[in-house]
Amino acid sequence: MTETTKTHVILLACGSFNPITKGHIQMFERARDYLHKTGRFIVIGGIVSPVHDSYGKTGLVSSRHRLTMCQLAVQSSDWIRVDPWECYQDTWQTTCSVLEHHRDLMKRVTGCILSNVNTPSITPVIGQPQNESSQTIYQNNNNVSNKPTAAKILGKVGESLSRICCVRPPMERFTFVDENANLGTVMRYEEIELRILLLCGSDLLESFCIPGLWNEADMEVIVGEFGIVVVPRDGADPDRIMNHSSILRKYKNNILVVKDDSNHPMSVVSSTKSRLALQHGDGHVVDYLCQPVIDYILKSQLYINTSG
């Protein structure tokens, strides 16, 4: 397959990121490496989307802190960024709503051909903090008759993006946009197939099998219209997990399981272990969290005196 015929993918990870760990970052890297090895996909970006404060999880620190920690964790990445849309909403958003938001955003500002999308979404496209102005974030000055072809796009250095919420070195070949960007002249991808895939660990996949935990209509959209990339964690077997859910079995072809080193050292790293290590003064926390995140946690005195 040529690069113009491969499916272009944006990986979206939703979660508490309380705090974000090296395991979360490695999950993106492992998923990208695996998708590229299949020969069917090109991953053009990754999005970290921290959950809203009203999610209500015990010990969940303010989104202000979690966004900052996520930004610090990806500051050296040239393809993973942090998106604050969830945190800027009035209340908690479902995973389905977050996926729909990014799908609508891509359709609106890039003119992408998005695959496996059958129904329009009513999810708001743009979310801003309450204290920001309501000025238009997106501007598209492209002349329709002068659209670049896919081949030109693939060979063009991405336009610089402003209004970023984290440090993002310029990418060599691709770029994608989100509500952090003031686009100016928009690059368009009319001739490129793009998919937004939910990136998760096998623990989240397993939660789909818990009766009543997920809305079944949401599950149908998440797995049926978008698709999932699953990175195995803690020795869990995603294939066994999928056999316990009729919806997962129905859309098994939309679930991509990363096949790499099943004993990857990051597969056992978790936010829970990181918080416990911080509370107990365990030096192994350096194995779980990157140093800028550790420094921020210590400076802000997060997790140290909590049991969450």
**Contact between 256 and 230 (Cβ < 8 Å):** yes
Q: Does the model's pTM come out above 0.85?
A: no
**Domain 7-115+192-267 bears CATH identifier 3.20.20.140:** no
- Residues contacting 159, CB < 8 A, separation 6+: 175, 183, 184, 185, 186, 187
> Which H/E stretch holds residue 196?
strand 193-201
pLDDT(15) > 90: yes
Give the model confidence (pLDDT) of 262-298 as tens digits.
566 677 788 999 999 998 888 889 999 999 999 999 9
Helix (H) or strand (E) holding 50: strand 41-50
Q: Could you report the per-residue pLDDT of 83-95, keeping only the tens digit for each?
A: 999 999 999 999 9
Q: For the chain, give every domain's residue range.
A: 7-115+192-267
Which residues, other chains included, contact 253 with Cβ-Cβ below 8 Å and sequence gap of 6+?
none
What are 113-157's pLDDT values in tens digits? 454 433 333 322 223 333 333 332 222 333 333 333 333 333 322
Q: Tell me which residue of 287, 175, 269 sits closest to 231, measured CA to CA.
A: 269
Q: Rounded to an integer, what is the distance from CA 295 to the centroid of its chain?
A: 24
